[in-house]
Amino acid sequence: MKQLVAYFAALVAFVVADMGWLGTMTSRFYRPTLSDILLTSVNLPPALAFYALYPVGLVVFAVNPALKSNSIGTALIYGCLFGFFTYSTYDLSNYATLRNWSFALTVVDMAWGTILAGFAASVSFWISRLVA
């Protein structure tokens, strides 16, 4: 039961925060940089798959170690590390292979992924501790 609570807490925190970011930053930052390679609307199946799978990684690699050590600091640090490495993989690969992908976009998106994952892991830990 604790794992389900951790997963759904991470899922909700991650999706809500990311939707806020994307809703604010897409027109201001992503679209001006990536204009001709962006779809006009989101391809829902892969987006839903990403949002369903990413919190699993957060729980396995950040929340579970934090619950074992009973430390929100562990959730924050491991969540940030998970976000940094996963978003780095995406952003650096895109920077290496896509014409429009800029250095600024790489740095900003990696920073966002780091903050987002740390936040979602911390929220998940906190809610899991409250429910337990």
Q: What is the pLDDT of residues 47-76, one digit of tens each?
A: 999 999 999 999 999 999 999 999 999 999
> Could you give the CA distance from residue 130 to residue 17 in angstroms, rounded to a whole number?
21
User: Does residue 30 contact residue 23 with C-beta atoms inside 8 Å?
Assistant: no
Question: Which pLDDT belongs to residue 132?
Answer: 78
Mean pLDDT score of the chain, rounded to an integer? 97
Residues 91-102 have pLDDT tens digits of 999 999 999 999
User: Residue 36: which pLDDT band, with cuts at 50, 70 and 90?
Assistant: confident
Per-residue pLDDT at 35 exceeds 90 = no
